[in-house]
Chain A
Amino acid sequence: MFSPKVSEKIAFAFLTVAILIVVGFVLTILSYIVTNGIGAISIDFLIQGPKNRMTEGGIFPAIVGTVFLIIGSMAVALPFGILAAIYLNEYAEEGRIVWIIQMAISNLAGTPSVVFGLFGLAMFVKYMGFGASILAASLTLALVVLPVIIRASEEAMATVPSGLREASLALGVTRWQTVRKIVLPIALPGMVTGAILSVGRVAGETAPILLTGAAYFLPRLPDSVSDQFMALPYHLFVLATSGTNIATTRPIQYGTALVLLMIVLGVNFVAVMIRRHYKNKMRW
C-alpha cells in the first residue's frame, strides 16, 4: 500500500491530531470557565452568603461546607486507607483472603458515586439515623475516596525496593519497625500525593452529597455535624439547573464553577509539585 516510511508519516499525523483535540478540550473548558467566571469573583463573593433567592450575593457557606466535607471524610478515610495499604503491601501473602480484599477494593473504586450516595442514604441517613447531615455526607465521601487512598498508598509503598525490607529484617528488626523506619518514610511523599488527590475528589463530588445531606439553600453556616450544609458543587448544580433565574445568574454560576475548579485544580497542582519534588530526590 504505502511504503513503511509514508505509513509512518500518515500515522504520526493522525496521532498528532488526536492529542491536539484532547488539548483543545482542556483549553476550551478552562478558558470558558476562567474568562466568564473571573469577573464574578470578588472578596464579597467569597465571604458573603447568597442573597435574594440566590440571584445575588456570595458562596461563603458553600465553601465552608466543602471544607467541612473534606476534613470529615479525610479524617475517616486517611487512617483506614493507609493502614489497609500497609497490610496489603507489607504483610499480606498471596492468597484467597488477600485476593478477595483486592477485588473488593477495585470494585469499590469502580462503583459509581451515585450508588455510594444511595448506600449513604440507606445506611447513614436512615439506618443509623444520622439524618441528612455533614456526618452522613462525610462518611459517604470517605467511602468514595477510600479505594483511591488505598491504591495510592500501596503504589507508593511498592516503589520501596524489597531489598531494603530484607536488609532491615536481616538486621534483626521486626516487621512493624521496618515498616515504620524504612518503608513509611520512603513512601510518605507518594502517600501524601495520593491523599491530596483524593481531597480534590471530595471537593468535586456531587451525587453522593446530593442524596445524603447537601442543602439546596442554607444561607448560614452549619451548627453541628448533624446539620445540613451547602457545598460548592451542589450549589453550582442548583444554580445552573433549578435556580430562580437561570439566565441572569450566569455570572454567579461561572464564578462558582471557577472557585470550585480552582480549589480542585489547585489541590492537584500541589500534589503534582510534591510528587515532582520527591521524584527528583529519590533514586535507586
Chain B
Amino acid sequence: MLINTRSKEFAIESILLAVSALAVVILILISIFLFREGAALFKDIPFLDFLTGKNWHPTSVPPVFGLLPLLLGTLLVTAGAIVIAVPLGIASAVFISEIAPPNVAEILKPIVEILAGVPSVVYGFFGLVVLIPRLQQLLDLPTGQTALAGSIMLGIMALPTIISISEDAISSVPDFLKEGSLALGATRWQTIYRVTVPAALSGISAAVMLGMGRAIGETMTVMMVTGNAAVIPGFPGGIFAPVKTMTATIALEMGEVPQGSEHYHALFAIGAVLFVITLLINLIAEAVKRKYRFKVGS
C-alpha cells in the first residue's frame, strides 16, 4: 500500500511530464521538417541568393526563387496593420477598462471577442466583396486588391488580440494605485497616462508583439485581398498596389507544385523563414513581459 501509493504518484508525475514535453518535441519536429524540406532547395541555389533575390518566378524556366518581394510584401502589409491596429487597440482597451461604465464594458468585451472569433476566410471574403470594390472606387485604383486592403483587414484581425491582452494588463493594475493618484488631485486622464498605462506597459507591449505575430502569420485573408503580385513594393506607392506575402505564396502555390520539386522545397524554405520570424517575435514578447513585469504591492 505504502510503496503502491508512492510509485503510483511517481508514475503519474512521469506521464504528465512526458505529455508536457510533447510541446517541445512538436516544436523540434516542426523545425526539423521545415528545415529539412527547405534545405533541399539550397543544393542548387545559394541560400543568400534566395534571401536577397529580387524576383519570385517559380514557374519560369529556369525558375527564380527570390524571397525579397514576398518578405517585403509581408512586412509592408504587417506594418500597415500595426499602424492601424495599435492606436485603435490601445485606445479601445483604455476605454473599456478605464472609462466605460461597468455595464457598457460588459457589452463591449464580447463585441471585441466576436472580432477574434470570425474565421480568417470570412474576413477574406468580406474584404474581397465589400472592401476591395470600395477601395478601388474611392482611391481610383486599377485594382482594389492592394497592400492597403491587406493592412486594413489584418489590422482589424489584430485588434482583438491587442485589445484583450492590453485590457487585461490595464485592468490588472491595482485600484489602490489609481486611487493613490486620484487622491492627489490628478484627473482621471492624468492618472491613466501617467500611472495606469505605464504600469501596464509590459502587458501592452506584449499585446502589440502578439498582434504583430498574428498579422505576419495570417494567410487566408491576405491571400484573398492583396492581389498576390510578387513584386517588390515601392514606397509609398506600393501601399496602393498588389503584393504577395510569404504565407499567401505557400498556400497558393503548394497545391500546384509537384512534391519534391525545387518549387516545393522553396515553399518550405519560405515556411522556415516565416517560422524563424514568428519565433523571434514571440521570444521578444516573452522577454518584454518578463523585463517590465512590475511588482506592485509586495
Do A and B interact directly, with beta carbons closer than 8 Å? yes
Chain A positions within 8 Å of B, measured between CB atoms, are: 4-5, 7-8, 11-12, 14-16, 18-19, 21-23, 25-26, 28-30, 32-33, 80, 83-84, 86-88, 91-92, 97, 100-101, 103-119, 121-123, 126-127, 143, 146-147, 150, 174-176, 200, 203-207, 210-211, 233-234, 236-237, 240-241, 250, 253, 257, 260-261, 264-265, 268, 272
Residue in A19, A101, A112, A241 whose CB lies within 8 Å of B278: A112
**Are B275 and A111 within 8 A (Cβ)?**
yes
The answer on a CB contact under 8 Å between B126 and A261 is no
Q: List 21 A-B contacts (CB under 8 A).
A: A8-B187, A11-B192, A19-B91, A26-B111, A80-B22, A104-B23, A106-B285, A107-B282, A110-B281, A111-B217, A118-B267, A119-B34, A122-B33, A146-B23, A146-B26, A211-B254, A236-B121, A240-B125, A241-B224, A250-B129, A264-B118
A72 vs B94: C-alpha distance in the bound complex, in angstroms? 40
Q: Does B27 contact A (CB under 8 A)?
A: yes
Q: Which of A11, A240, A261 contacts B124 (CB 8 A)?
A: A240
Question: Knowing A19-B96, A87-B19 touch, does A265 contact B114 (C-beta < 8 A)?
Answer: yes
- Whether a CB of chain A sits under 8 angstroms from the CB of B210 is yes
Interface size on B, residues (CB 8 A): 89
Counting chain A CB atoms within 10 Å of each CB, the highest count among B5, B124, B193 belongs to B124
Q: How far is the CA of A100 from the CA of B22 in the complex (A)?
A: 11
Partner among B5, B111, B286 whose Cβ is within 8 Å of the Cβ of A103: B286
Q: How many interface contacts (CB-CB < 8 Å) are there between A and B? A: 260
CB-based contact B119/A206 at 8 Å:
yes
Question: B4-26: contact bitstring with A at CB < 8 Å (1 yes, 0 no)?
Answer: 01001100110111011111101
CA distance A5 to B185 in the complex (A): 12
Q: In the complex, A204→B100 CA distance in Å?
A: 31
Beyond A234-B121, A237-B121, 9 additional contacts (C-beta under 8 Å) are A15-B94, A22-B88, A29-B123, A107-B27, A112-B218, A113-B219, A119-B30, A204-B119, A204-B122
Cα-based distance from A117 to B251 in the complex (angstroms)? 9
Q: Which residues of B contact A5 (CB under 8 A)?
A: 187
Interface status of B169 (Cβ within 8 A of chain A): no
Q: How far is it, in angstroms, between the C-alpha of A112 and the C-alpha of B78 when the chains are bound?
A: 14
Q: Which residue of A lies closest to B16 (CB)?
A: A87
Enumerate chain B interface residues (CB-CB to A < 8 A). Answer: 5, 8-9, 12-13, 15-17, 19-24, 26-27, 29-30, 33-34, 36-37, 87-89, 91-92, 94-96, 99-100, 108, 110-115, 117-126, 128-130, 156, 159, 163, 186-190, 192-193, 210, 213, 216-220, 223-224, 247, 250-251, 254-255, 259, 267-268, 271, 274-275, 278-279, 281-283, 285-286
- Give every chain B residue within 8 A of A272 (Cβ-Cβ): 110, 113
Distance, CA A253 to CA B125, complexed state (A): 8
B224: chain A residues within 8 A (beta carbon): 237, 240-241
Which residue on A lies nearest to B112, using beta carbons? A22
Q: Hey, which chain A residues are within 8 Å of B128, CB to CB?
A: 240-241
Question: Contact partner of B189 among A11, A121, A147, CB < 8 A?
Answer: A11
Cβ-defined partner of B30 (8 Å) among A84, A105, A111: A111
What residues of chain B lie closer than 8 Å to A203, measured between beta carbons? 119
Contact B16–A174 (Cβ < 8 Å)? no
CB distance from A213 to the nearest CB of B (A): 12
Question: Which of A28, A109, A176, A236 is within 8 Å of B125, CB to CB?
Answer: A236
Q: Is the CB of B250 within 8 A of A114?
A: yes
Contacts of A147 in B (CB 8 A): 23
How far is the CB of B15 from the nearest CB of chain A, in Å? 7
